[in-house]
Amino acid sequence: MSDIIRLLPDSVANQIAAGEVIQRPGSAVKELLENAIDAGGDTIELIIKDAGKTLIQIIDNGCGMSPTDARMSFERHATSKIKTAEDLFRIRTFGFRGEALASIAAIAQVEMKTRRIEDELGTHLIIEGSTVKSQQPCACPAGTSIQIKNLFFNVPARRNFLKSDPAELRHIIEEFERVVLVNPGIAFNFTNNGKPLFQLPKSGLKQRIANAMGTVNFEKLISVNQETNVVKVSGFIGKPENARKTKGEQYFFANNRYIRHPYLNHAVEEAFHDLIPEGYFPSYFLFLEVDPAQIDINIHPTKTEVNFQDHQTIYAILRSAVRASIGKYSLSSTLDFDAEQSFNFNFPKDKQVNAPGIHINPEFNPFTKNPQPELRLTPGSDYRSNDTNNWEKLYEGLRQEAGTEPIGQTMIIGSNFGTEGQGDRGFMQLQNRYIITKVKSGLMVIDQQAAHERILFERYLDRIEQKKGMAQQQLFPHTVKLSAPDTELVNELLGEISLLGFIIEPFGPNTFIINGTPADLPDENIQEFLENVLENYKKNQLGLKLDRKSNLARSMARNLAIRPGKVLMTEEMQSLVDDLFACRVPNLSPSGKTITVIIGTDDLDKRFN
Ligand code: ADP
Ligand code: MG
């Protein structure tokens, strides 16, 4: 019997490869857009007919190709982008496998016109099912125009497999949006069946997001910026109050390539989670830049999954970068910094005043044993050394001012407006539930319970997350007896509860012995306190999708926060307000309630007219 193994002809091999690379019109659009971008021009036009089934045309004003390169570009493994295997680890262009054009030519009728700027004449090439039909010199603009007609004309099974035009068009738009978001410096036009769908001029990233996404409003974006030596994070997030019920507007790009990454998505949602209601999703457009050697690029061209060597570190950095941006935004909207004219703090005259900003610790290293969140404005933390550029200092300015100019006495309503002269810092309590203090633009009213809940929440969360609870030994151990389900729950949460500062151990059936409690826990009935916290925890478990740590921190805060009706001394108000403004998110309570309201002098003026 004769030998039976044969090499497949190129046309067949290409068709097989095409099945992997080009699954639908959207994948051809993606490949061609990426080629056009790699070509380095600044204007790209996409024209399609019948959702790309009849025609996909892409015109760029990039580098163009010589006649020989034009012919070569359709060969399998023909690429100008890598030469050696090592290049794979440095690659920054989009394509590099040299498969796209060969695959497309295997399953469509392709016509290309291309010219390099330095050449007088360009090349006109026609290829059908991997066969070159003609190649001739032609007059054409510098750059490349490529037309893909009748995709899958020779693979009826695949053609029949395509979805309806609206569905295929949706795929194309999806690919288009991913590409245009990364390339705001390139102008894009996109028409379908003669109707313009997108007209995107060159712009900055923020404007591009607004132009391309349509539903995203320019004003609704908060910038994110964080540079570490592992990863550089930049881009924009939607404001918490603009979270949406669909997951549509969530984009990650790694080294300017669109990626899907459920794990990192979780990091972003974590950063938002105590700020948006359940069932809503934050919008984000986040760019991660890592050393190409740290990211697994040996991936299938149609796949958007990637692996980072350092994904846990990136997770931590991403989450804290997003949190920092949210915190900065919510603080600035509280203190109304856009109206900075009317908001002059009393800085000592000899000090240089910088624009308000959030502090990032350049030394921050999430690898260290006790990582500190980078955003640390707490008094006594390391980050505030020799710099006026932080909120705490700004707040001090506010405090000084309030101290020297007491609020008009005629406005006393509560029982505790300071009257002790020197010690008076201009705080008053209204109906034993609001703290009122003066800011330059008017009056700031602070909900005392919500403020305290925020402070305690962040404190307990930090304790659990940074794993250093401070327990205070009890003189007499307490035993608490719980219901069977609560016993289960405590056993499940034992680790976290200990981190909060409880010294607690199981002690017989449904019983625990408590030898120590967190130092800041008031001496009250521990049994009752624990039951209340567990009750709250269970309630949160039902309604909200909180992780264990946040839920526990929230339940503790809820039970320990001062209530309306609690009379506060001036010093207590002072330290509450100080602590509040040292929080990461000082104007929203853990459950999303507003903590501070500013009544502007403007408003008052209007009312008196
Ligand atoms: P890859 O992009 O992976 O290199 P392709 O099959 O997509 O493979 O393209 C093959 C080659 O053709 C590219 O490496 C590039 O040199 C050239 N090429 C493709 N499209 C263009 C274009 N629009 N302008 C200039 N050169 C192009
Ligand atoms: Mg390519």
In 3D space, the residue among 434, 466, 439 whose CA is nearest the CA of residue 450 turns out to be 434
Weakest mean pLDDT among 11-15, 107-111, 362-366, 592-596: 362-366
Weakest mean pLDDT among 278-282, 316-320, 414-418, 511-515: 414-418
> Between these two residues, 143 and 23, which has the higher pLDDT value?
143
Residue 69, amino acid: D
Say what the pLDDT of residue 385 is.
Answer: 31
> Between these two residues, 94 and 171, which has the higher pLDDT value?
171
Confidence of residue 380 (pLDDT cuts 50, 70, 90): very low
Share of the chain above pLDDT 90, in %: 38
Q: Which residues contact 104 (CB under 8 A, 6 or more apart)?
A: 18, 22, 28, 31, 32, 110, 148
Number of H helices, E strands in the chain: 16, 22
CB 264 within 8 A of CB 233: no
| Fold match, 10-201 / 206-331 | no
Count of beta carbons in the 10 Å neighbourhood of residue 536: 18
Q: How far is the CA of 31 from the centre of ligand 2 (A)?
A: 5
DSSP for residue 367: T
Confidence of residue 202 (pLDDT cuts 50, 70, 90): very high
Q: What is the mean pLDDT of residues 15-39?
A: 88
CB 112 within 8 A of CB 314: no
Q: Is the CB of 591 under 6 A from ligand 1?
A: no
Report which protein residue has its CA nearest ligand 1's atom 17.
73
Count of beta carbons in the 10 Å neighbourhood of residue 201: 13
Atom nearest to 60 CA in ligand 1 = 23
Q: How far is the CA of 37 from the centre of ligand 1 (A)?
A: 10
Task: Give yes or no for residue 511 having a pLDDT over 70.
Answer: yes
Task: Give yes or no for residue 388 having a pLDDT over 50.
Answer: no
Which of 14, 34, 73, 97 for a ligand 1 pocket mutation test, highest count of atoms within 8 Å of Cβ?
Answer: 73
Q: Is the CB of 44 under 6 A from ligand 1?
A: no
Confidence of residue 83 (pLDDT cuts 50, 70, 90): low
Q: What is the mean pLDDT of residues 286-290?
A: 94
């209204």: which residue's tokens?
A: 430
Weakest mean pLDDT among 73-77, 399-403, 428-432: 399-403
Task: Give yes or no for residue 406 having a pLDDT over 80.
Answer: no
Q: Is the CB of 143 under 6 A from ligand 1?
A: no
Give start and end residues of each alpha helix (H) in 22-114: 25-38, 67-72, 100-106
Report which protein residue has its CA nearest ligand 1's atom 1.
98
Ligand with minimal distance to 30 CA? 2
Confidence of residue 486 (pLDDT cuts 50, 70, 90): confident
- Over its C-alpha atoms, the chain yields an Rg (Å, rounded) of 31
| Domain 206-331, CATH | 3.30.230.10
Which of 27, 34, 35, 123 for a ligand 1 pocket mutation test, highest count of atoms within 8 Å of Cβ?
Answer: 35
**d(C-alpha 496, C-alpha 189), whole Å:** 54
Say what the pLDDT of residue 87 is.
Answer: 62
Which of 44, 46, 79, 148 for a ligand 1 pocket mutation test, highest count of atoms within 8 Å of Cβ?
Answer: 79
Say what the pLDDT of residue 474 is.
Answer: 66
> Between these two residues, 96 and 389, which has the higher pLDDT value?
96
Q: How far is the CA of 22 from the centre of ligand 1 (A)?
A: 15
Give start and end residues of each alpha helix (H) in 405-447: none
Share of the chain above pLDDT 70, in %: 77
Task: Give yes or no for residue 402 having a pLDDT over 50.
Answer: no
Atom nearest to 144 CA in ligand 1 = 23
Say what the pLDDT of residue 441 is.
Answer: 80
Confidence of residue 98 (pLDDT cuts 50, 70, 90): confident
Q: Is the CB of 457 under 6 A from ligand 1?
A: no
Q: Which residues contact 419 (CB under 8 A, 6 or more apart)?
A: none
Mean pLDDT of the chain: 79
Report which protein residue has its CA nearest ligand 1's atom 13.
79
> Between these two residues, 407 and 565, which has the higher pLDDT value?
565
Confidence of residue 528 (pLDDT cuts 50, 70, 90): confident
Q: Is the CB of 65 under 6 A from ligand 1?
A: yes
Confidence of residue 340 (pLDDT cuts 50, 70, 90): very low
Q: What is residue 564's three-state secondary structure?
A: coil
Q: Is the CB of 73 under 6 A from ligand 1?
A: yes
Two tokens, residue 258: 């669109």
Task: Give yes or no for residue 137 having a pLDDT over 90.
Answer: yes
Confidence of residue 47 (pLDDT cuts 50, 70, 90): very high
Say what the pLDDT of residue 20 is.
Answer: 74
Say what the pLDDT of residue 418 is.
Answer: 35
Domain residue spans in the chain?
Answer: 10-201, 206-331, 416-609
Say what the pLDDT of residue 310 is.
Answer: 84
Confidence of residue 553 (pLDDT cuts 50, 70, 90): very high
Report which protein residue has its CA nearest ligand 1's atom 23.
36
Q: What is the mean pLDDT of residues 236-265?
A: 86
Say what the pLDDT of residue 135 is.
Answer: 96
Q: How far is the CA of 29 from the centre of ligand 2 (A)?
A: 11
Say what the pLDDT of residue 594 is.
Answer: 85
Two tokens, residue 563: 């209530």
With 0-12 CB in 10 A as exposed, 13-18 as middle and 19+ as buried, what is 136?
Answer: exposed
Q: Is the CB of 97 under 6 A from ligand 1?
A: yes
Q: Is the CB of 66 under 6 A from ligand 1?
A: no
Confidence of residue 268 (pLDDT cuts 50, 70, 90): very high
pLDDT in tens, 273-283: 778 877 788 99
Domain 416-609, CATH 3.30.1370.100 — does that match? yes
Q: What is the mean pLDDT of residues 586-595?
A: 85
* Domain 10-201: top CATH class: alpha beta
Atom nearest to 104 CA in ligand 1 = 6
Q: What is the mean pLDDT of residues 438-458?
A: 90
Q: Is the CB of 79 under 6 A from ligand 1?
A: yes
Say what the pLDDT of residue 409 is.
Answer: 28
Q: Is the CB of 145 under 6 A from ligand 1?
A: no
Q: Is the CB of 100 under 6 A from ligand 1?
A: yes
Confidence of residue 33 (pLDDT cuts 50, 70, 90): very high
Say what the pLDDT of residue 59 is.
Answer: 98
> Between these two residues, 171 and 305, which has the higher pLDDT value?
171
